[in-house]
């Protein structure tokens, strides 16, 4: 197991921010990158063509959900996740750990793994590092994640034991992996505690892995606490490997992450907000349910070149929302994903031209102003 099959090239740096290219069996993607989430093997309300047209080149799918339904064995039998959902670009699967450990009162952790109940029918299942890797190998994503525990970020004593166990599980994931077509990323844990984050980053970095993730953030801590962790961890991780901040996806979090050396992001935010009628922009969110947009002939964002903004008015989208028409979620999802992809594309150009710190400063000043 090493990282030779998944090269990462850094094409430019600006401060800590990096512009790179990561290569996978399903093609390359440029970084910084934002991955929309296709929890159940579908980015909600969008066809793969629409996801691609919105600018996405990497998507995430959830191992926990797909293990329970339709089952990773079924997906393997159907030719793997790419073929099953007709997404031919790179896919990343999480380990299932985050969802399992979120099931308060429905799971039991031991040294070997975790026993949990299905959210669908209450049936009992078990994940271990070995099972998580086997399930992810059945799914066939280009990037797999090591099985980790995402602990309460503010409980110091618990984070010590949880982190150490996650470190032991990393070695077991590496040992369990049986193919070279899928990259396995390690995950740094340690809550909001600088000493634990440092220890975890150093430990995980000691493995020759094709990429490294920062887990356990955006789970209840403050923005300042998150940024403090991001001030520490990326500098410890290997320079020549991509860094993935898991589950993070607001525009300001993306900019703050890129400023600190993060390359990959994922989040349900753009599609979840869309289903509730909230559109993203570079200056804040727009609640399209509001009466004030009923007769507004403007696009969600003037000058935006997404399909939605090129063809539909705020007034029309508000009508769809008020009428509970499914097309509202589709159209706003397209816009929201496009907005985050445009943000990482602009960031990349700014990094390559050495103007990113100014770009980020201007962005963070404007964000929230509308």
| Sites of contact with its own copies (CB under 8 A) | 40-42, 44-50, 69-70, 74, 77-79, 84-86, 294-295, 297, 307, 311-313, 315-316, 318-320, 322-323, 325-327, 329-331
The least CB distance from residue 337 to its own copies, in Å, is 15
Q: CB 160: neighbour CB atoms within 10 A?
A: 17
How many residues would you count in the chain? 370
Report CA dihedral (177, 198, 252, 217) to the nearest 10 degrees: 60
- Set 14, 94, 142, 263: catalytic member: 94
Both tokens of 132, joined, read 């998580």
Q: From the candidates 72, 142, 263, 266, which is the catalytic residue?
A: 266
In terms of CB distance, is 209 or 273 closer to its own copies? Answer: 273
The long-range contacts involving 66-74, CB below 8 angstroms and separated by at least 24 positions, are 66/40, 66/41, 66/93, 66/135, 66/139, 67/96, 67/125, 67/127, 67/135, 68/118, 68/119, 68/120, 68/125, 69/40, 69/120, 72/134, 72/135, 72/136, 72/138, 72/139, 73/138
Is 263 one of the catalytic residues? no
Least distance from its own copies to the Cβ atom of residue 292, Å: 14
Smallest gap from Cβ 87 to its own copies, in A, equals 10
- 159 vs 336, beta carbon nearer its own copies: 336
Residue among 223 and 298 whose Cβ is closer to its own copies: 298
Among 99, 36, 35, CA closest to 65: 99
Identify the CA nearest to 242 among candidates 357, 98, 143: 143
For 94, 195, 235, 282, the CA distances from 221, given in Å and listed in that order, are 21, 17, 21, 24
User: What CA–CA distance (Å, rounded) separates 256 from 276?
Assistant: 26
Q: Which residue shows structure tokens 């799918």?
A: 61
CB count, 10 Å around CB of 212? 25
Q: Does 94 qualify as catalytic in the annotation?
A: yes
Distance of CA 171 to the CA centre of its chain: 23
The C-alpha atoms of residue 234 and residue 252 are separated, in whole angstroms, by 18
Question: 143 pairs with which residues across the strands?
Answer: 92, 183
Cα dihedral across residues 156, 161, 166, 170: positive or negative: positive
Q: Provide, rounded to whole angstroms, the least separation between the CB of residue 56 and its own copies.
A: 15
State the nearest-atom distance from the C-beta of 284 to its own copies, in Å.
25
From the CB of 286, what's the least distance to its own copies, in Å?
18
- CA contacts within 13 A on the Cβ side of 38: 28
Residue closer to its own copies (CB basis): 160 or 327: 327
Q: How far is the CB of 312 from its own copies (least distance, A)?
A: 6
φ, ψ of residue 67 to 5 degrees: the values are -60, -45
Closer by beta carbon to its own copies, 47 or else 227: 47
Minimum CB distance to its own copies smaller for 88 or for 171: 88
Task: Give CA–CA dist 214/201, Å, rounded.
Answer: 9
For the annotated catalytic residues, the residue numbers are 94, 266
């Amino acid at each position: 197991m090493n990282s030779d099959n998944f090269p990462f090239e850094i094409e430019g740096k600006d401060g800590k921010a990096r512009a790179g290219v990561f290569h996978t069996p399903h093609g390359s993607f440029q970084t910084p990158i934002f991955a929309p989430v296709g929890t159940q093997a579908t980015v909600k309300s969008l066809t793969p063509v629409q996801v691609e047209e919105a600018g996405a080149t990497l998507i995430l799918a959830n191992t926990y959900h797909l293990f329970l339904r339709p089952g990773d064995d079924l997906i393997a039998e159907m030719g793997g996740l790419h073929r099953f959902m007709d997404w031919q670009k790179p896919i990343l699967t999480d380990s299932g750990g985050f969802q399992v450990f979120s099931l308060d009162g429905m799971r039991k952790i031991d040294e070997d793994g975790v026993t949990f109940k299905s959210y669908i029918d209450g049936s009992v299942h078990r994940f271990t590092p070995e099972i998580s890797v086997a399930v992810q190998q059945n799914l066939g994503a280009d990037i797999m994640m090591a099985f980790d525990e995402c602990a309460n970020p503010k409980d110091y004593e618990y984070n010590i034991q949880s982190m150490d166990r996650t470190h032991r599980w990393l070695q077991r994931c590496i040992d369990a992996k049986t193919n070279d077509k899928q990259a396995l990323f390690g995950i740094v844990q340690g809550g909001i505690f600088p000493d634990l984050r440092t220890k975890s980053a150093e430990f995980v970095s000691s493995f020759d892995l094709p990429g490294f993730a920062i887990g356990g953030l955006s789970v209840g801590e403050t923005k300042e606490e998150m940024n403090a962790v991001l001030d520490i961890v990326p500098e410890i991780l290997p320079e020549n490997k991509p860094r993935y901040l898991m589950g993070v996806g607001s525009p300001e979090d993306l900019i703050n992450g890129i400023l600190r050396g993060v390359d990959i992001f994922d989040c349900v935010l753009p599609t979840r907000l869309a289903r509730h009628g909230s559109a993203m922009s570079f200056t804040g969110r727009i609640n399209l349910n509001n009466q004030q947009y009923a007769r507004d002939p403007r696009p969600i964002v003037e000058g935006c070149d997404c399909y939605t903004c090129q063809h539909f008015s705020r007034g029309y989208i508000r009508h769809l929302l008020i009428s509970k028409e499914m097309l509202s979620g589709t159209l706003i999802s397209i816009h929201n994903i496009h907005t985050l992809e445009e943000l990482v594309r602009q960031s990349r150009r700014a990094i390559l031209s050495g103007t990113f710190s100014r770009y980020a400063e201007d962005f963070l000043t404007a964000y929230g102003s509308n």
